[in-house]
Structure 1
Amino acid sequence: MSWKIRRPSPSTLLLWCFMTTLTASEALGAEPIRYFLRFPAPQTHYVEVEARIPAAGKAEVELMMPVWTPGSYLVREYAKGVENLVARKADGSALEAVKSRKNRWKVATGGADEVVLSYRVYGRTMAVQANWIDSAFAMLQGAATFLTLADGVARPHEVVVDPAQGWKQSVTSLRAAPGGKPHHYVAADYDDLVDSPLYAGSPAIYEFTVDGVPHVLLNEGEGGLWDGPRSARDVEAIVRAEKAFWGSLPYERYVFFNILGEAGGGLEHKNSTVLMGSRWATRTRASYLAWLNLVAHEFFHTWNVKRLRPRELGPFDYENEVHTPSLWVAEGITSYYDRLIVRRAGLCSLAEYLAGDPPSAGEDRTINDIERLQTTPGRLVQPLEESSYDAWIKFYRRDENTPNTQVSYYVKGAVVAFLLDARIRKATDGAKSLDDVMRLAYSRYSGDRGFTAEEFQKTAAEVAGADLGDFFRRALRTTDELDYAEACGWYGLRFGRDKPDKKAEADKDKPAKAWLGLTTKVEDGRLMVSQVKRETPGFDAGFNVGDEILGVGEDRIPPGQWSKRLEAFRPGDKVSVLIARRDRFQRLEIAFGLEPPRDWTLEVLPDASDAQKAHRKAWLGE
């Protein structure tokens, strides 16, 4: 067994002694910016930052803080967390610091060689793109924490951490600074700093090596519920499966930050990832599979996005939106491979893989990407490349009408990848696949250059040995329905309806229930409409999000009785529903419909041919 658990032990802090030390990076290039992080009262959710900024005798320096962070395409205005910013000379004399833009500050240096900047950052957002600080631990994101010079000069950045009292360890993917001092790290440049989240606290640490490369799984908040050893074994299996996919590991050390704070999400970094989940997740199969899928997804980004990226995404412009039509490659193809990697690693069954993602918020059943796409009306409104390009203004700004007008580049991107993979396999009689496309694209375009949308599509066509122009045009730039026949035929799959359970069998003679297609919630004791999808009786009847449902006919509907009352009606019944809209009573005349069957669940053909079985095994890595 190649992994082991290491319990952190207290370290002696030598916080200030490195200030006169010349690092290797400094000796070779521009003078570094040096940061000191303290947590004197972490229960107040603040980190105190002192930054020593080289000024080289200039009369004025300008400082910048990012407005977004790579991997999450939304302007988040990180400067809003900065408080009490003051500047002084090294001798303590005050300097004037004024805001010059929403995320910039100018400091009049008075001719000083160094400016000492002090500020506080508030952090109490349990999200992978933000900072969290409390009495137990701190999880800091670079973009949300560190100001830097806005001069465009590449320079090293050093960080020293002073953990709060009782915290035993700091962990980051940054390299340890020369000299071996505890809690002292160095980033090659600002990109490296932003891309290297930092943790301080008292976690459970699990270590394993793959091909001689060290990996760390940091679990914060196990709480006696999370199965740490099991999670470490399975993370190692995923690392090995993805290394086999790509052929090598492109880093010297990798850290999985697994924050068990009852939140969710993941964000990729070059040599690490931040994951958020529930400490209860290892207790049920569905929730644990969801976590494994997240691990596989974020780790796949180590290659696809962090090194093989759309050209538009680099060099990073931290102050402006950066649009690209190729997030379907960055996120969609990664979403296609995450569960597939879990299957290839032997961590889920074929039935679990075909069933799709375990239930998430707002869902009560497992659902695959095809079903999720085909039940989203927005697929007929927004093309896939447009979804990618508009991520900044739409994907991260969802509202009640989002399902009717948008398509997710994660979901449709994954489905297009599934179809593209099958098309390449069929065109080459199984000799090549999308795996080969990703490896070839990586060999050509990883690094500083990146790929254009046209280059990626040409690479896929080259591997397929076929013209894929019409496939990409229809899949990426139109809202035409996708054709699943070729992929299902190649793998020996079909779409089938959910199998009836025992209760349904017992009730098979019971009349069908009425259906409106509304999503409702009970809020402050009121029954409220929270979503209305197109192509439903509720949409046709004129329901609006925000309507309060009060009664049906002449009878009041108690907020918690909506579903039960619907059982009294049948498809085709017509009734009058009393609602309150903006505090005025109104009646809607409705005709109940029949809930559509689940026609997009994938299953194996019971009479699949030997060739189809062989194709499926090759695809799943069996």
Structure 2
Amino acid sequence: MRRIFPLLALLAALLAPRVPAQHLNWDLHEVAWVMRPAADGETIDMEMTLNPLLDRDRVVVRIPLWRPGSYRYANYQDRIKDLHAVDQDGERREILELDPRTWEVDAQGATSLQIRYTLPVTNEADEGETPAIHLRSPMTFLYTEDTKLLSHTLRVELPSGWDFASGHRPDAHEKGLFRSPDYDVFVDCPIALGGLERHSFMSHGTEIEWVLFGRLPSEAEFSREEWTRKLKAISEVGYDIFGSYPFEKYTYLFLLNGIGGVSGLEHLNSTSILVNHRGVKNGSYIDPLESVTAHEFFHLWNVKRIRPEQLGPFDYTQDVRSTDLWWMEGITSYYNDVMLQRAGLREDGWFWASQSRNFLSVRRSPGFGTNSPERSSWTVWDPDPSKSISYYDQGQMLGLLLDIKIRAHTENRRSLDDVLAFLARWIDYPGPGYSQDELQRAIYAVTGWDCEQFFDRHIEGLIDPPFAEILPLAGLDVVWIEADDPYVGIGFADEDELELAIREGTPAGEAGLQSGDRLLQIGGERVRDLDEVRAALDSAQAGDEIEVRVRRGGSTKDVTITVAERGRLTFRISENPDASPSQIAIREGLLTGTPESI
């Protein structure tokens, strides 16, 4: 009898008449897109087709306020030019701007609409070469609220000699057509267009492609064979941690341009990474490029699949906040170091030096002691330089400590690797993300360690983690020295122009200097560059008064700065040569990933 009642109830529910949900329209079944890049690489014509339409008075289209993975407001609407719409007869339809990111299109009597606009784009190629264009999809494609869950298709009409690369998957039945199950997946794919250099390799029976475009290096400057080897090594560390790849094919997009450094963004089956072309050609940016590459690849799992419930499906109309960015980004930062070490791309001692630098970065941040990891995650949308602290750095520090605590508690039978692998299977993307406190539950389920107190004190709270107690569990020594140094608090937003960047609460700020001031004199002597500034301040001692002249607007201002003292920190992690076998096993497990029980 206990089994019969649920069955009868289920049958009754299935046989009951269905009532259509309100506000659903059953006319549209997909959104069709066509892109037409101009041969000069300066613009792209965009076309969004909504067909068929039934009895609609209007269609409201939007451009996202932000893009997933980049937690800041954006002004993508500024790039949309000549927005217009035509119906099935080619007649223009009226468009009303509701707000800077939202437009209402007249649809009365229309059976289909084509919404068209032009995007100015940046040609990243060297002069005389085939144009090279990088597109971030949330700033490229419009959407409507009632079509976000519909299939989206893309056709790209390329000029002669151009190529196309992306994480978009080809349609199974129509050549040249790409299909995504919904808008979130559709705009998750960055796009490379134009002159592309393509490479690929196989890993565990799966194709991984990598694409170079922009201002390309010569083979002598950047060995493609060597980079393929490194990418394969990085990718396979991720495979070893999680036991499988969550994609049919993966695409690395590497844009070499004039960016000042390296940056990247994670996606479900691809990543786009931007790097300064000079730094690649002279070799100075290869290590940072490897680090960002490992970081974005690990995001395949941690962020794109292991994620809090509010991070997908996405609301593109407002900020989406989480207290767990320390986990999303910071644990990933810990693992980009882990991956480089286990991939054999770093020398002995590098891993501990990297963690030491990160600990120092946390301690030196203005927000240390005032912004917890959860708080810094939540307030990323409201940056305050006087209280800033990186949830990347906080999370990386916590990743190392959590990994050691888990290994010590389980006698090295379990690690943070196991927790992440469990979360990836448990959440089972595209299922919903985890809810509040389920990270703690997952750690307990995998390891038996009740980490509630650790989270309360060091993640939600402001208590400094007990690194001096935890690190020795892995056979690690810690050198921690604090000393006082003279401190003026002068920083620069533009070193060439000596334009000041002044934080509140510093001696310079208390004296009345402001960000944007241009430094002219120190101690009555003119200063023309950074070397002269350092020389003028080199002999300053705590309690000294320094006369400073700056230009503010159209006038000069003289202020007197009283030199203060600031603690100088030295923090160094090193391997204890007298560690016990159990401590050595944990330490080696961190570096190699091979679990060896004590």
* TM bucket, shorter chain: 0.7 to 0.9
Q: CA 1:146/1:591 → structure 2, altered by over 3 Å: closer, same or farther? A: closer
Separation in 1, partners of 2:589, 2:562: 51
Q: Does the Cα contact within 8 Å between 1:219 and 1:228 map onto a contact in 2? A: no
Q: What whole-Å deviation, never above 9, does each CA across 1:313-338 have from its counterpart, x for those lacking one? A: 12211112111111111111111111
CA apart distance, 1:309: 0.9
Q: What is the match of residue 449 of structure 1?
A: 432
Q: What is the match of residue 5 of structure 2?
A: none
Greater alpha carbon shift after TM alignment, 458-467 vs 541-550: 541-550
Q: Secondary structure at the match of 1:298?
A: helix
Greater alpha carbon shift after TM alignment, 280-289 vs 95-104: 280-289
Alignment length, in residue pairs?
553
Separation in 2, partners of 1:353, 1:284: 24
Percent identity at matched positions? Answer: 27
Q: What is the match of residue 79 of structure 2?
A: 81
Q: 1:210 aligns with which of 193, 203, 206?
A: 203
Q: Does the Cα contact within 8 Å between 1:334 and 1:414 map onto a contact in 2? A: yes
Q: What is the match of residue 588 of structure 1?
A: 560
Separation in 2, partners of 1:29, 1:213: 38
Q: Secondary structure at the match of 2:175?
A: coil
Q: Does the Cα contact within 8 Å between 1:267 and 1:273 map onto a contact in 2? A: yes
Q: Does the Cα contact within 8 Å between 2:123 and 2:133 map onto a contact in 1? A: no
Q: What whole-Å deviation, never above 9, does each CA across 1:376-432 have from its counterpart, x for those lacking one? A: 1311121211111122222xxxxxx62x30221111011112111111111112111
CA apart distance, 1:531: 3.9
Separation in 2, partners of 1:600, 1:517: 22
Q: What is the match of residue 170 of structure 1?
A: 164
Q: What is the match of residue 244 of structure 2?
A: 248
For 1:86-125, list aligned pairs within 5 A.
86-124=84-122
Q: Secondary structure at the match of 1:120?
A: strand
Q: Does the Cα contact within 8 Å between 2:30 and 2:147 map onto a contact in 1? A: no
Q: What is the match of residue 191 of structure 2?
A: 198
Q: What is the match of residue 297 of structure 1?
A: 295
Q: 2:53 aligns with which of 44, 56, 64?
A: 56
Separation in 2, partners of 1:563, 1:604: 40
- Does structure 1 residue 574 correspond to structure 2 residue 544? yes
Q: What is the match of residue 25 of structure 1?
A: none
Q: CA 1:147/1:550 → structure 2, altered by over 3 Å: closer, same or farther? A: closer
Q: Secondary structure at the match of 1:249?
A: coil
Q: Secondary structure at the match of 2:570?
A: coil
Greater alpha carbon shift after TM alignment, 468-477 vs 87-96: 87-96
Q: CA 1:464/1:577 → structure 2, altered by over 3 Å: closer, same or farther? A: farther
CA apart distance, 1:581: 6.3
Q: What is the match of residue 386 of structure 1?
A: 375
Q: Does the Cα contact within 8 Å between 2:251 and 2:270 map onto a contact in 1? A: yes
For 1:428-447, list aligned pairs within 5 A.
428-447=410-429
- Mark the runs of 5 or more structure 2 residues left unpaired by the alignment: 1-25, 594-598
Letter in 1 for 2:575: V
Letter in 2 for 1:414: Q
Greater alpha carbon shift after TM alignment, 560-569 vs 90-99: 560-569
- Does structure 1 residue 229 correspond to structure 2 residue 228? no
Letter in 2 for 1:142: S
Q: Does the Cα contact within 8 Å between 1:271 and 1:302 map onto a contact in 2? A: yes
Q: Does the Cα contact within 8 Å between 1:491 and 1:616 map onto a contact in 2? A: yes
Q: CA 1:33/1:451 → structure 2, altered by over 3 Å: closer, same or farther? A: same
Separation in 1, partners of 2:480, 2:223: 35
CA apart distance, 1:608: 3.5
For 1:397-546, list aligned pairs within 5 A.
402=385, 404-447=386-429, 448-496=431-479, 515-520=487-492, 525=497, 527-532=498-503, 538=508, 543-546=513-516
Separation in 1, partners of 2:391, 2:421: 21
Q: CA 1:554/1:159 → structure 2, altered by over 3 Å: closer, same or farther? A: closer
Separation in 2, partners of 1:538, 1:602: 34
Q: CA 1:388/1:586 → structure 2, altered by over 3 Å: closer, same or farther? A: same
Separation in 2, partners of 1:523, 1:247: 48
Q: 1:342 aligns with which of 340, 343, 366?
A: 340
CA apart distance, 1:542: 5.7
- Mark the runs of 5 or more structure 1 residues left unpaired by the alignment: 1-27, 127-133, 358-366, 395-400, 499-511
Separation in 2, partners of 1:348, 1:214: 26
Separation in 2, partners of 1:461, 1:420: 12
TM-score, normalisation: structure 2: 0.85
Q: What is the match of residue 72 of structure 1?
A: 70
Q: What is the match of residue 596 of structure 2?
A: none
Q: Secondary structure at the match of 2:306?
A: coil
Q: What is the match of residue 614 of structure 1?
A: 585
